[in-house]
Amino acid sequence: MKTRLMRQGIKFDRVGADWLPDISQLIRKRLDNPKRLKEEHNTRAIGKTIIRQLCDNQGSGLRLSSCGSCIRQQAFAHYNWVKDGHTIDGAARLTFAVGDALEAMIVACLKEACVDVDINTSYMGDDQLEVSIAVPFGESGKQVANIVGHPDGMMNVPIFNDLLGEQSLDKEWVVLEIKSMSDYAFKRFRADGLSKTDSYYYQIQAYMLATGTSRTYILAFGKASAAKDAVTTEHHWEPLFPLVGQWIKEDKEIQREIQENYKTILTSRSPFDLNVPFKPNKKGRIGFPCDYCSYHKHCYPDSSEVAETSKWLQSSTKVKLYVGENDA
C-alpha cells in the first residue's frame, strides 16, 4: 500500500484514510534551496518577538497554552499566587529567545515555501490570532469565563481521501503549532509522535476547539540537533533533519476534559481545594512536572534543591569524514 505520493508539487502522506501534505518536507526543500525572497517579511516584528524575553512578561491567569499542565498549577496561576518555585532565570530566557528566533525563521520559510503551492498561510508571526473558549461555570452556569490563547498560525491546506479518490481533493483550515524541543523530547517525538498524555496534545486540542477546526499540524524542532546528525541502518546512513511534523486530529474526549478542568478550577475556592496529582518517589525526589513548576514551594514547603550528577550517558550518531578505504 502506498504511503506517500506527489500532487501539485506537494508530497502527501497517508494518515488513516486521508492524504495530508507533508509540511516539514516543504520547509526542508526551501531551506535547502536558498533563493530570492518572494514574500514581504516584517523583520522589525521578528526582532521584537526575540527581544520580548527582556521584558517582564510572566503574567498569570488561565491560558489555553497551559491547559495540559497540572490542574493545581493552573489554579495557582488563576488565583495569582506568588511564584515561589522554579524560576525563569537568565539562562532560560536565552533558551526561549533561541526558540523564538527559530520559530520566526520557520514561519518565514513556510510562507516562502507556500508561495508556489496550493497552501495558504495566515495569522502567523506578528499577526497571530487571539482565540478563546467560553467556559460556563457556577451552579446555574450563568457565569462564563473566556480563556484565551494564541496558536502559532493557521493554514488552508489541500486534503484528499483514499476512499473517495483524488477527485475528493478539498481544502481545509487547520491549526499550525511550532515547538522547539529538548533532545530527549525531540527524540521521543521523532520516534513515536505526540502522546495523548503530553501537555502539547492538550494545548492543540484547545486551539482546535477554539478555532472550530479538526486538525493541527505540529512541527517540532530539536534544539540540540546539529548539522552532522545522522541515522544508520545495517547497510547505509542518511542525514537526520532537525524538523519533524505530525498531523493530529481533534479529540472530543480530551476537549471535554479540558473544559471540565477549567470548570473545576473556576468553581474552587483555592488551589488547595485540588489534590496534588504527583507524588515524590521512594527516595523523596520530586520529579517532573513539579521540579519545573513555578509554585512547587506551595505544594512542598520543606523541599530543597540538590545538585546531582546524572549517570545517563547518551550515544550519538554523527557524519564523519574519512580518507581511503574504510568499513565504517
Q: Give alpha helix (H) positions in 143-301.
A: 183-192, 199-211, 252-267, 296-299
In this structure, are residues 242 and 222 in contact, taking their beta carbons and an 8 Å threshold?
Answer: yes
Between 236 and 279, whose beta carbon lies closer to ligand SF4?
A: 279
Grid cell digits, residue 261: 478542568
Q: How far apart are CA 124 and CA 41, in angstroms?
A: 11
In this structure, are residues 215 and 174 in contact, taking their beta carbons and an 8 Å threshold?
Answer: yes
Position 202 contacts ligand SF4 (CB under 6 A) = no
In this structure, are residues 143 and 136 in contact, taking their beta carbons and an 8 Å threshold?
Answer: yes
Shortest distance (Å) from residue 201 CB to ligand SF4: 17
Shortest distance (Å) from residue 78 CB to ligand SF4: 12
Grid cell digits, residue 223: 534544539
Between 96 and 300, whose beta carbon lies closer to ligand SF4?
A: 300
Shortest distance (Å) from residue 274 CB to ligand SF4: 8
- Site of grid cell 514561519: 107
Grid cell digits, residue 60: 498569570
Between 137 and 278, whose beta carbon lies closer to ligand SF4?
A: 278
Between 180 and 294, whose beta carbon lies closer to ligand SF4?
A: 294
Position 293 contacts ligand SF4 (CB under 6 A) = yes
Shortest distance (Å) from residue 84 CB to ligand SF4: 10
Shortest distance (Å) from residue 193 CB to ligand SF4: 24
Position 289 contacts ligand SF4 (CB under 6 A) = yes
Q: Give alpha helix (H) positions in the chain.
A: 23-32, 43-51, 71-78, 90-113, 183-192, 199-211, 252-267, 296-299
Shortest distance (Å) from residue 206 CB to ligand SF4: 19
Number of residues near ligand SF4 (by CB under 6 A): 13
Query: Count of CB atoms within 10 A of residue 297's CB?
Result: 15
Q: How far apart are CA 132 and CA 305, in angstroms?
A: 37
Between 79 and 241, whose beta carbon lies closer to ligand SF4?
A: 79
Position 290 contacts ligand SF4 (CB under 6 A) = yes
The footprint of ligand SF4 on residues 23-82 (CB under 6 A) is 70, 72-73, 76
The residue ranges that bind ligand SF4 (CB under 6 A) are 70, 72-73, 76, 276-278, 289-290, 293, 295-296, 299
